[in-house]
Amino acid sequence: MTKDMNNTDIQIAICGSAGDGTIASGDIMKRAAALMGYNVIAFDLYPPEIRGFGKCISRIRISSEQTYSLKRESDIFISLNDNHAIPHVGEVRDYGAVVFEDSLIARVPEGRHISAHIKPAQVPYAFSIRQISEQATNSARSRNIVVLGFIAGLYDMPARVFHRVIAAKFATKPQIVIDDNTKAFDAGMRAGGAVFKLDDVAVGKPRDYSNGSDAVMMTGNEAIVRGFLEAGIGSYFGYPITPATSIMERLAVEIPRRGGQFLQTEDEIAAIAATIGAAYAGSRAATATSGPGLALMSEMLGLGVMAEVPLVVVVSQRGGPSTGLPTKTEQSDLNLAVYGGSGDARRIVLAPTNVEGCYRCAGMAFEIAETYQTPVILLIDLYLSNRYETVIPSEENTFAPKPRLRPEIAKGDIYKRFELTYNHISPRALPGEEGLMHTITGLEHNEQGRPNDAIHSVMSIKRHEKLNSATRFPGLTVCKRFGDEGPVDVGILGWGSTFGEILETMFEAQAEGIRCSAMKVVMLSPLPMDEIVAFFDDCREILVPELNYEGQFANLISGAVGRPVTRLSHVTGSPMVIAEILAEVRRLAGSATPKQKALGS
């Protein structure tokens, strides 16, 4: 929230039941805000059950400046279902707005109406949502659109932008659907425009519309699909699993249009096996899954490592173990991604921290896999898979495949598919290329690929050492430091989707006078040790917040560096909470002696 009317930083939360159009209204709001030129971060919560009821919440943060996470408290809260909304009234900040229905069609027990739960410092806006919807469209089904119009009218947002988004949202429906939703929006806007505004929510002037037209609203999964397509993906094999399914659904439409191959397999084992086969044959091949699917794929991933086949696996983590929490987020598959498999099966693991990072990591993943002839895992989670952000993609496709150099051998020589070289990377031929016959097996093998256990030590060195230079792969951000330079009281080390909350925490800590830095680590295997050690050297205390119980990243880092860290685990199925991280930063910073603080400054 800001009182500067030229700037905007508001968060809107819409809460209802499945069937109320909660997610649809949130989608319209975030896309309208993006068209107005604002930066947008949005995340939806929905029930795990495949049923027509359950709580849905859509949260949208709209800002004039760059933002990195959702806020803990919302500025505007809309109730489409009081039973579901009442537990979340406390998530609205003081002097924020609470919008709800005031014309009930039936009596409710005492304490069951949201008006009984609004705090004295919150500002209630009650109006006849159902009645306005019925008058505008002869149906109560447009209540979700009426409340959008009310918000637009209350805060003087441009109607034409919402009209445009509504038309696009229902473009595949009959014209009457577009007309009715537009009428519902306009009716709600008239109601909102007639209300005297009492809260202190500040919505500044929309930014330049040309900026908004360049921005694209994408989820992490959509960004991965875009990166894959720009990189020339040729084959995709997958099996549906939340929260990775939308990657498969979109590629099922796009890959055949581009002459590639798509197949929904009978299970995850078949998916990874087919991916390895297509990649061995020279196709840029990928699959996507979640933790349970990755567990099934672990044996075949070992084959990819042993046979040195380049492929890409997207893993979107959810709460576990077992079926766990299918529609809740967690970061508990790090150990499985880095270490999962029999024997020493080192592979490259990348963990982007935002939607744009998903796009860039996906776009570069095939080239990285081909360079090092190994599986590459893109490790994200449900929060990042489903989180919307505004992204301005590059106009130039920098991910397109480069011409592959065919191995050259002297006449009469034998081609060595696994030749021992100075950089441990062997010349790769595709099956069927003349004069380059070779053997591929899951057994330990010699340079020709023929089974040979006597050379196991040498080949183990080859498979591990060839990956070390991946931390210097051109154009790839493997880690990055933010905040104060030099010695600091507290350094916050993070990975994946939690880094947005970490970065916002760092800014708040700095505003309080705490010397604080943050570092994101994108490449989890192999680790960029030089940069991490340098960060440790500068930080008196290291805090590692993450969405798992065991502190898997903390264990990985402290084991590699040989130094202790402070763990902050969060396993509620929801994103990391900034206030919890900040409280721990304050505690760690406060434990410094005056002498230590003087040295830090």
Q: Is pLDDT above 50 for 542?
A: yes
Query: What's the predicted TM-score (pTM) here?
Result: 0.91
* Annotated domain spans of the chain: 9-214, 218-391, 407-476, 479-600
- Quickly state the pLDDT bin for 54 (edges 50, 70, 90): confident
Instruction: Give pLDDT tens digits for 368-402.
Output: 999 999 999 999 999 999 999 988 777 777 898 88
Query: From CA 182, how far away is CA 457, in angstroms rounded?
Result: 69
Q: Is pLDDT above 70 for 595?
A: no
- Quickly state the pLDDT bin for 599 (edges 50, 70, 90): very low
Query: Residue 428 has what DSSP assignment?
Result: P
Buried b (16+ CB within 10 A) or exposed e, 492-513: bbbbbbbbbbbbbbbebbeeee
pLDDT at residue 553 in the model? 98
List the CATH code of the domain at 9-214.
Answer: 3.40.920.10
Nearest to 427 by CA among 291, 436, 595, 435: 436
What average pLDDT does this structure show over 513-524? Answer: 98
User: Tokens standing for 500?
Assistant: 């947005």
- Give me the DSSP letters along 125-193: EEE-HHHHHHHHHSSSTTHHHHHHHHHHHHTT--HHHHHHHHHHHTTTS-HHHHHHHHHHHHHHHHHHH
pLDDT at residue 52 in the model? 55
Percent of the chain residues past pLDDT 90, beyond the cut: 85
Query: Residue 403 has what DSSP assignment?
Result: P
Nearest to 505 by CA among 539, 544, 552: 544
- Quickly state the pLDDT bin for 545 (edges 50, 70, 90): very high
Amino acid identity of residue 503, one-letter, is L
- Quickly state the pLDDT bin for 110 (edges 50, 70, 90): confident
- Quickly state the pLDDT bin for 50 (edges 50, 70, 90): low
Q: Is pLDDT above 70 for 597?
A: no
Nearest to 96 by CA among 41, 33, 151, 46: 151
pLDDT at residue 531 in the model? 97
Query: From CA 317, how far away is CA 32, in angstroms rounded?
Result: 30
**Helical spans, DSSP H, in 354-401:** 355-372, 382-386
Percent of the chain residues past pLDDT 70, beyond the cut: 94
Instruction: Give pLDDT tens digits for 222-280.
Output: 999 999 999 999 999 999 999 999 999 999 999 999 999 999 999 999 999 999 999 99
3-state secondary structure of 287: strand
Backbone angles phi, psi at 124, to 5 degrees: -85, 140
Judge if 9-214 and 479-600 fold alike in CATH terms.
no
Nearest to 316 by CA among 342, 338, 286, 292: 292
Q: Is pLDDT above 60 for 213?
A: no
Instruction: Give pLDDT tens digits for 453-472.
Output: 999 999 999 999 999 999 99
What average pLDDT does this structure show over 532-556? Answer: 98
User: Tokens standing for 130?
Assistant: 């159902």
Strands 9-17 and 55-63, how do they pair?
Answer: antiparallel
User: Tokens standing for 103?
Assistant: 């014309």
Domain 479-600 has CATH 3.40.50.720: no
Q: Is pLDDT above 50 for 423?
A: yes
pLDDT at residue 257 in the model? 96
Instruction: Give pLDDT tens digits for 297-306.
Output: 999 999 999 9
Amino acid identity of residue 271, one-letter, is A
Instruction: Give pLDDT tens digits for 190-207.
Output: 999 999 999 999 888 776
- Quickly state the pLDDT bin for 3 (edges 50, 70, 90): very low
pLDDT at residue 1 in the model? 35
- How many CB atoms are closer than 10 A to CB 442? 14
pLDDT at residue 205 in the model? 74
List the CATH code of the domain at 218-391.
Answer: 3.40.50.970
User: Are 279 and 307 a contacting pair, CB within 8 Å?
Assistant: no
